[in-house]
Chains A and B, each alone.
Chain A
Amino acid sequence: MKISVFGCELSGLVTAGALAQTGNEVMALPIGIVKVEDLQNGVLPREEPGLASLIKSQYEEERLFFEADWSLGVEYGDVLFLSMPSWNIRKAEDIVDLISSTAEKDLIVVNQSTFPIGTADRFLQTIQQGFSCRGVEAKVAVVSMPEFMSEGSAVKDFTRPDRVVLGGDCQEAIATIRDIMRPFNYTVDQIKVMSTRAAEYTKYAVNALLATRMSLVNELANNAEHFDIDMEQVRQGLGSDGRVGFSYLYPGCGFGGPSFAEDVKTLVGTLESKGYDADLLKTVLSNNESQKEVLFRKAWRYFHNRLQDKTIAIWGLSFKPNTATVDNAPSLRTVEALVAQGAKVVAYDPKGKKAFQRYWGEDRQGVSYVNDMYQALENADALMVLTEWKHFWNPDYERMKSLMAQPVIFDGRNIYDLNVMKSKGFEYFGVGRGQFI
């Protein structure tokens, strides 16, 4: 099948690569700042496990190629995927307008992007109007197929999905997409078919539910401290309850990322603009913003409201391990808060430095960056762990202690054992670990 994929960010590239791998001929078209030449040379906008080799192999085998001119994409594919960040809906509208005004043949538009509820219906209407104005008799369908890819496991999420949600009213179109997705749906049928709006809403609802769960766990953890309770023990008890389960049960210094938190914000925005209730979700979001500063607050109290000239080492800037992305990451708020109080921040992150620097400002004072996790600890008055990169889990404790001015650790991901830290001579504060400062 000939397929055009509009959008060459993470989800677009994964989709294009994976569909090419199963034998489709795929044209991928960037919609933002990503350049065709870069893609042809294997320079990708994001580092993602398995993605570079997938793209390279498919490009070399000539089932995947890149073009800049959207009209070529409209002409080429029988199925057109829209795969772009939610804030870039304007570009999606431009592409839909282009389809509406130039397409001549039967086609299926598959929207993977997280756009407001009702967008797929609106796109269908636009294209149908264009067709009828121009007297084009071709058939068109819009299918909503929300992507559930997480950074760090995006390729696997697409090729071995927990479920594929397909939203659409046209049985023929659903059958076509079902067939395209067949290689990834082989063992057990994971495809759930529903209305387009239900599919759009499902994506929002999943994120809303997970965000609420994490926020609640954080609130329970923060309060556990007041009662001298270690939330880690409570987590074991909670997770083993079959109704609760273990996933998304870790307390920590807040969730971030470019789409997850943003999607919940968009949902709240949509609900509020229409005057509907969003009280719980609003609280979830504001709790999370506050939670991003939880380590700052601990340090603030530990140092008796005086952080002026304290040196704070930070391990981890990206919003989660194995990604360079810092969008909405706790590091942004934490560093901002520390520097505003006159603290000096020395930061280490294996991948996130560049992106963080872009947010923070290249020339802005207050933060210095190092390329070695131990170097960050030199003369530090405290260490803050903000991202649970694998190599942070078992560091050389003795070396840490000898480098630091004070052996104080604030752990936003609860990766260390309370007793071990105590025996190694650290003052150790996790999130919800029973010690209230």
Chain B
Amino acid sequence: MTLDVSPAWQALQVHCDAGLGTMAMSQLFKNDRDRTDKFSHEFDDLYVDYSKNRITEETMSLLFDLADQQDLSGWIYKLLSGEKVNDTEDRPALHTALRANHKGVSGFAAQVQDDVDAQFDNMSRIVNKVRSGHWRGFSGKAITDVVNIGVGGSDLGPLMITQSLQTIKSPVNLHFISSIDGTQTSNLLNKLKQETTLFILASKSFTTIDTLSNAETAIDWLEEAIKDKQEIYSQHFIGVSTKPDMMTEWGIPPENQLIFWDWVGGRYSLWSAIGLPIALQIGMDKFRELLEGARIMDEHFGSEPFERNLPVILGLIDIWNINFLNIQKKAILPYDARLKYLPSYLEQLVMESNGKSVNRDGKEVSYKTCPVLWGEVGPNAQHAFYQLLHQGTQKVMCDFFALKIRDDFDASSHTGRNESLKSQHELALANCFAQSRVLMLGDDAIPESLKANFDSPFKHYPGNQPSNTILMKDISPKTLGMLIALYEHKTFVEGVIWEINSFDQWGVELGKLIAKETKAALQDASLAEQFDASTRKLIEKVTS
């Protein structure tokens, strides 16, 4: 029996057709004064309000039935204990084991704890050496700049976290280069000095052409100043990969290698040695706070009943919105510019995990899966695509992120600048709360006294766009750890319901293969003869 004809699914469909599918949220709030108490949950440093969704208690109850029908509890156990939930690649997905710190682990997840400890010790040695100024370049000067060369999971996680924690002062400058075209690389290298620059070569497979080609350019640049090739590898490169042999073959000495394992998915790898840039910026102790934040969320996910389980609740609400209310777009809207890269990060996490149309049995699914996800720093997006959210023809669900406390200035000090920043924080919060309110209520948000001003078809606000608001205590390693783990698990919950494997990414393979063939054709046009006319013409345009 396929999912969409299963009893729990059918029950939800009936429930939806009975009126909730078209019900106005303003009505739901009028009907139930306690609505927000029922549909919000505070856990540690996060307060999650999901009451601005078209749900009732019955909806949630039916969604929990669906979760039970899909054996979500069983899958959560399989995930956390290290069973091979990534069946197409025949391996577990044990990012939770990286942050467990020996607590509450069983099965394979428990077995790997010592290996994890050993690599963190190794990482700690390197981090302390660089941060204390004792990692020396070939000339004997201390390293001042660290360049992370990596792409996808080896780039986005560290980039997003280091940007988010930018108020924590780093003893070294961090840079990220990822794109295959090499423009980031050449621009950056013009500004750096070989003797004080250290590269991190981060690649899970150590075959990623994007990363290796940028690394080759870095080597050429280092060779302009360093005669001894061995010193290039021993003082100016650290490798992070699951493939120690390939790192050694490439030239990186064993003491400069950090290892992780194939049971860590690339987009789930910031918790492993891939997080080295984060630890370099904030120090190993704070990196461990990040891990601990995630662990707190893991424990919550593994033990709380569904009714109070945040990743489960948010995942099921997405299912409701996508599969029953037919909403296929999701906007990620952080109201703090430090979270600028959160949308990019979640784009990869969510769409690479669940952007699939074949279930675990290899059958094509007959229902919608992952939505298109995009986003931007909220206040900036208000001047860009919010027009579409308010008055377009697309139905969009939104996740808003706001902070209770801004820790980047001293709120107790009443200098002119601090007063202004405090006021700006209030402005950001006011905008965040106002936007989610208008998206929900539409015209009903217009105060009675101003109604006359809005008497125009162009000033009509349909509203009824659902949203979640996540109020974080602050932006600290711990709250970020909790937040990211929340989204990881929520993504897994959706994959379980849809019966898809959230941990593989076959969709990205063919393009890589064809790119190799195309590269050859760019050097030798005769190889393009079998290509389609469009591609042939493009090749001709750039080679002639």
* Chain A CB within 10 A, most for which of B129, B136, B235: B136
**Residues 135-151 of B contacting A (Cβ, < 8 Å):** 136, 138-141
Interface string of A290-319 (1 = CB under 8 A from B): 100100111111001100000000000000
CB of A340 within 8 A of chain B?
Answer: yes
| A296-B231 CB under 8 A given contacts A337-B134, A340-B132, A341-B134 | no
Q: 12 other contacts beyond A297-B140, A301-B139, A304-B228, with CB at 8 A cut-off?
A: A290-B141, A298-B140, A299-B140, A300-B139, A301-B138, A301-B140, A305-B136, A305-B231, A305-B234, A337-B134, A340-B132, A341-B134
In the complex, what residues of B have CB within 8 A of residue A304's CB?
Answer: 228, 231
In the complex, what residues of A have CB within 8 A of residue B136's CB?
Answer: 300, 305, 341
Q: Which residue of B lies closest to A340 (CB)?
A: B134
Interface string of B374-404 (1 = CB under 8 A from A): 0000000000000000000000000000000
In the complex, what residues of A have CB within 8 A of residue B228's CB?
Answer: 304
A interface, over-half SS: helix
Q: How far is the CB of B210 from chain A (nearest CB, A)?
A: 30
Task: Sample 8 A-B pairs with CB under 8 A, ordered by A number.
Answer: A290-B141, A297-B140, A298-B140, A301-B138, A305-B234, A340-B132, A340-B134, A341-B136
**Residues 90-137 of B contacting A (Cβ, < 8 Å):** 129, 132, 134, 136
Q: How far is the CB of A225 from chain B (nearest CB, A)?
A: 12
In the complex, what residues of B have CB within 8 A of residue A297's CB?
Answer: 139-141
**Residues 225-245 of B contacting A (Cβ, < 8 Å):** 228, 231, 234-235
Q: Which 8 A-B pairs have the closest CB atoms?
A: A297-B140, A300-B140, A340-B134, A305-B231, A305-B235, A301-B140, A296-B140, A300-B136
Interface string of A267-294 (1 = CB under 8 A from B): 0000000000000000000000010010
CA distance A300 to B141 in the complex (A): 10
B140 touches A293 (CB 8 A): yes
Q: How far is the CB of B172 from chain A (nearest CB, A)?
A: 15
Q: Which residue of A lies closest to B138 (CB)?
A: A305
Q: Which residue of B lies closest to A301 (CB)?
A: B140
Interface string of A118-149 (1 = CB under 8 A from B): 00000000000000000000000000000000
Q: Which residue of A lies closest to B228 (CB)?
A: A304
CA distance A176 to B134 in the complex (A): 55
In the complex, what residues of A have CB within 8 A of residue B234's CB?
Answer: 305
Q: Which residue of B lies closest to A299 (CB)?
A: B140
In the complex, what residues of A have CB within 8 A of residue B138's CB?
Answer: 301, 305
CA distance A337 to B137 in the complex (A): 13
Q: Which residue of A lies closest to B235 (CB)?
A: A305
Q: How far is the CB of A170 from chain B (nearest CB, A)?
A: 37
Q: How far is the CB of B255 from chain A (nearest CB, A)?
A: 11
Q: How far is the CB of B96 from chain A (nearest CB, A)?
A: 36
Q: Which residue of B lies closest to A296 (CB)?
A: B140
CA distance A290 to B133 in the complex (A): 11
Q: How far is the CB of A247 from chain B (nearest CB, A)?
A: 30
Interface size on B, residues (CB 8 A): 12
Q: Which residue of A lies closest to B128 (CB)?
A: A340
Q: How far is the CB of B258 from chain A (nearest CB, A)?
A: 20
Q: How far is the CB of B171 from chain A (nearest CB, A)?
A: 14
**Residues 318-372 of A contacting B (Cβ, < 8 Å):** 337, 340-341
Q: Which residue of B lies closest to A302 (CB)?
A: B140
CA distance A290 to B196 in the complex (A): 13
CA distance A246 to B140 in the complex (A): 31
In the complex, what residues of A have CB within 8 A of residue B132's CB?
Answer: 340
CA distance A300 to B136 in the complex (A): 9
CA distance A105 to B98 in the complex (A): 74
Q: How far is the CB of A299 from chain B (nearest CB, A)?
A: 8
CA distance A296 to B133 in the complex (A): 13
Q: How far is the CB of B234 from chain A (nearest CB, A)?
A: 6
* Chain B CB within 10 A, most for which of A298, A301, A305: A305
CA distance A340 to B235 in the complex (A): 15
**Residues 235-293 of A contacting B (Cβ, < 8 Å):** 290, 293
In the complex, what residues of A have CB within 8 A of residue B139's CB?
Answer: 297, 300-301
Interface string of B171-185 (1 = CB under 8 A from A): 000000000000000
Q: Which residue of A lies closest to B195 (CB)?
A: A297
CA distance A351 to B487 in the complex (A): 63
CA distance A301 to B136 in the complex (A): 11
Interface string of A145-175 (1 = CB under 8 A from B): 0000000000000000000000000000000
CA distance A138 to B228 in the complex (A): 76
In the complex, what residues of B have CB within 8 A of residue A296's CB?
Answer: 140
In the complex, what residues of B have CB within 8 A of residue A340's CB?
Answer: 129, 132, 134
In the complex, what residues of B have CB within 8 A of residue A341's CB?
Answer: 134, 136
Q: How far is the CB of B1 from chain A (nearest CB, A)?
A: 65
* Chain B CB within 10 A, most for which of A290, A296, A298, A301: A301
Q: How far is the CB of B35 from chain A (nearest CB, A)?
A: 52
CA distance A299 to B139 in the complex (A): 10
CA distance A305 to B232 in the complex (A): 11
Q: Which residue of A lies closest to B135 (CB)?
A: A340
Q: Which residue of A lies closest to B129 (CB)?
A: A340
Interface string of B209-234 (1 = CB under 8 A from A): 00000000000000000001001001
Q: How far is the CB of A275 from chain B (nearest CB, A)?
A: 13
Q: How far is the CB of B236 from chain A (nearest CB, A)?
A: 10
* Chain A CB within 10 A, most for which of B139, B140, B235: B140
Q: Which residue of B lies closest to A337 (CB)?
A: B134
CA distance A298 to B231 in the complex (A): 15
Interface string of A360-388 (1 = CB under 8 A from B): 00000000000000000000000000000
In the complex, what residues of A have CB within 8 A of residue B140's CB?
Answer: 293, 296-301
CA distance A297 to B138 in the complex (A): 9
CA distance A337 to B141 in the complex (A): 10
Interface string of A61-81 (1 = CB under 8 A from B): 000000000000000000000
In the complex, what residues of B have CB within 8 A of residue A293's CB?
Answer: 140-141
CA distance A298 to B235 in the complex (A): 16
**Residues 384-434 of A contacting B (Cβ, < 8 Å):** none
Q: How far is the CB of B390 from chain A (nearest CB, A)?
A: 44
Q: How far is the CB of B139 from chain A (nearest CB, A)?
A: 6
**Residues 149-185 of B contacting A (Cβ, < 8 Å):** none
Q: How far is the CB of B132 from chain A (nearest CB, A)?
A: 7
CA distance A225 to B235 in the complex (A): 23
In the complex, what residues of A have CB within 8 A of residue B129's CB?
Answer: 340
Q: How far is the CB of B145 from chain A (nearest CB, A)?
A: 16
* Chain B CB within 10 A, most for which of A290, A298, A299, A340: A340
**Residues 46-68 of B contacting A (Cβ, < 8 Å):** none
Q: Which residue of A lies closest to B231 (CB)?
A: A305
Q: How far is the CB of B318 from chain A (nearest CB, A)?
A: 50
In the complex, what residues of B have CB within 8 A of residue A290's CB?
Answer: 141
CA distance A41 to B69 in the complex (A): 91
Q: Which residue of B lies closest to A339 (CB)?
A: B134
In the complex, what residues of B have CB within 8 A of residue A298's CB?
Answer: 140
CA distance A138 to B136 in the complex (A): 63
In the complex, what residues of B have CB within 8 A of residue A337's CB?
Answer: 134
CA distance A304 to B235 in the complex (A): 11
CA distance A299 to B140 in the complex (A): 9
Q: How far is the CB of A191 from chain B (nearest CB, A)?
A: 44
CA distance A342 to B140 in the complex (A): 14
CA distance A290 to B134 in the complex (A): 13
Q: How far is the CB of A77 from chain B (nearest CB, A)?
A: 42
Q: How far is the CB of B454 from chain A (nearest CB, A)?
A: 48
CA distance A340 to B140 in the complex (A): 12
CA distance A293 to B139 in the complex (A): 11
Q: How far is the CB of A287 from chain B (nearest CB, A)?
A: 12
CA distance A296 to B141 in the complex (A): 9
CA distance A397 to B390 in the complex (A): 87
CA distance A296 to B138 in the complex (A): 12
Q: Which residue of B lies closest to A300 (CB)?
A: B140
Q: Which residue of B lies closest to A306 (CB)?
A: B234
In the complex, what residues of B have CB within 8 A of residue A301's CB?
Answer: 138-140
CA distance A255 to B353 in the complex (A): 59
In the complex, what residues of A have CB within 8 A of residue B141's CB?
Answer: 290, 293, 297
CA distance A172 to B108 in the complex (A): 88
CA distance A305 to B136 in the complex (A): 8
